Amino acid sequence: MPATVVVGTQWGDEGKGKFTDLLAKDMSMVVRYQGGHNAGHTLVVDGEKFALQLIPSGVLYPYIVPVIGNGVVVDPFVLLAEMKMLQRRGVDTSNLKVSGNAHLIMPYHQQLDALHERHLGKAKLGTTKRGIGPAYSDKSMRLGIRVQDMLDEDIFAEKLHTVLSHTNKVLTKVFNRLPVDPDKLAEKVLSECLDGIKPLITDTVNLIHDSLEAGQHVLFEGAQATFLDLDHGTYPFVTSSNPTAGGACPGAGIGPRHIDRILGISKAYVTRVGAGPFPTELFDLDGDRMVDIGAEYGTNTGRRRRPGWVDAVMLRHAVRINSLSEMAITKLDVLDTFETVKICVAYEIDGQRVEKLPYHQSDLHRATPIYEELPGWQQDLTAATQASDLPPNAVTYLRILEEQIGIPITLVSTGPGRQQFLNWN
Ligand code: IMP
């Protein structure tokens, strides 16, 4: 029962969609296990660009069952809009399944997300304002509403009454906003979404296990990334779920023994959106070049991503906490024009060389990167499809990065297209 997890090893936007899509060729099922439509997966298929937020990348293959697992938070309006967008472009979405246990994002979650951010002022997190945090908070407070609740009109309205008796107090008394009418909201959600969502609702846990027991390959697709993980990321500048590989267990209903391959994805440099510490961040022309050449603007929000050199200290930590078996490097071609390229191999903190990610976050804020600087390859890599196509300086860069992170690099992406990658090692 082969199961693979794909996980981002930085702060997101590593290009997971590309490799998820590539691996999907051999898969029967692709499962999202956390996050919501804060994610943005861009895939380029036959020159056509697809930007997915909620639906697993595997949807582009007709023989794959795309599954939205119980750990995901689902905005039903967004889900239906994304399905319609795909259908308009000729993609069949009839195989899509959604866990009845996944929690719903309601409009008041998005309102609260924006209000919390405004309230935090300078201390704001830079969330995507998609309602992710408030929806997961309600889930933890046992005030959440699940997808399956939509199946019973009375239960749905009753649950909205319960949660809104609390949330309306917050909206009106804390934020001075109008209360939400639970009956009107229930009517709107059910009238606009139920017909479209009902056929998708599935017992995804048994579906996944039946597939694994039949020996089929299942891919678990992490959204966001290791350092946005609620427990292991740069808290509080994180998302509200567990994108790390272990999150696939509660988020999809499998045990750790089911997972036999864990592929980490790292860019050849790093970006981050939103606030939070970032030791190798660049504020110079090199950073601007990364952003320009790499088109580093949010798929969802259009925000400019903060750029920096690749950080092997963080990647070594990501290897540990995800049990990564291998790494894929994306966007190597973005560095094609650089005269020199850098890998952060350690930090200097208060005059000391530190090779492990500091446990105390204040140390991370003060960490200065220690770089290994290498000559660039200054050659266009976008046509490279095998390791032997790479110039010696690119090979050296990958070998040193591999040595630094301590696990094999197996795949290297050299452009956005489906064919622009090579097997390494
Ligand atoms: P939230 O997930 O919308 O609550 O945002 C929390 C933090 O995670 C913010 O810094 C976001 O910019 C970041 N974030 C959430 N989703 C993504 C993603 O898909 N890529 C990169 N950053 C993300």
Residues 14, 280: Cα–Cα separation, whole Å = 16
Q: State the pTM of this model.
A: 0.96
Which atom belonging to ligand 1 lies closest to the Cα atom of 8?
A: 20
Name the residue with the closest Cα to ligand 1, atom 21. 12
- Judged against a pLDDT cut of 90, whether residue 20 lies above it is answered with no
What local confidence, expressed as pLDDT, does residue 44 receive?
76
Tell me how long the chain is.
Answer: 425
Phi, psi dihedrals of residue 336, rounded to the nearest 5°: -50, -35
The verdict on the CB of residue 274 being under 6 Å from ligand 1 is yes
- At residue 275, the 3 state secondary structure works out as coil
Which is the closest atom of ligand 1 to the Cα of 275? 10
333 confidence band (pLDDT: 50, 70, 90):
very high
Q: Which pLDDT band holds residue 1 (cuts at 50, 70, 90)? A: low
Sequence-ordered list of residues with C-beta below 8 angstroms from that of 13, at least 6 positions apart, any chain = 40, 225, 267, 271, 273, 296, 298, 299, 305
Q: Tokens representing 122?
A: 């300078």
Average pLDDT over residues 25-49: 88
Of 149 and 48, the structure prediction assigns the larger pLDDT to 149
Q: Which has the closest alpha carbon to 127: 276, 268, 263, 344?
A: 276
Nearest CA to ligand 1 atom 2: 239
Q: If we measure between CA atoms, which residue out of 274, 5, 303, 305 comes closest to residue 133?
A: 274
Residue type, 207: L
Q: Tens digits of per-residue pLDDT, 191-240?
A: 999 999 999 999 999 999 999 999 999 999 999 999 999 999 999 999 99
d(CA 26, CA 29): 9
- Across the range 312-322, mean pLDDT stands at 98
Q: Which pLDDT belongs to residue 17?
A: 82
- For residue 45, pLDDT over 90 is answered with no
What is the chain's mean pLDDT, rounded? 95
Percent of the chain exceeding pLDDT 70 equals: 100
Residue 13 CB less than 6 A away from ligand 1: yes
pLDDT at 233: 97
Across 296-304, average pLDDT: 85
- Give 130-186 pLDDT, tens digit per residue: 999 999 999 999 999 999 999 999 999 999 999 999 999 999 999 999 999 999 999
Instruction: Supply the pLDDT for residue 50.
Output: 87
| Closest among 67, 84, 78 to 110, alpha carbons compared | 78
Q: Which of 41, 117, 221, 228 to mutate to test the pocket of ligand 1 (most atoms within 8 A of CB)?
A: 228
Strands 3-8 and 261-267 come out as parallel
Least confident of 10-24, 158-172, 267-281: 10-24
Q: Are 57 and 17 in contact (CB under 8 A)?
A: yes
What's the mean pLDDT in 313-318?
Answer: 98
Please check whether residue 366 is in contact with residue 350, taking contact to mean a CB–CB distance below 8 angstroms.
yes
Residue with CA at minimum distance from ligand 1 atom 11 = 127
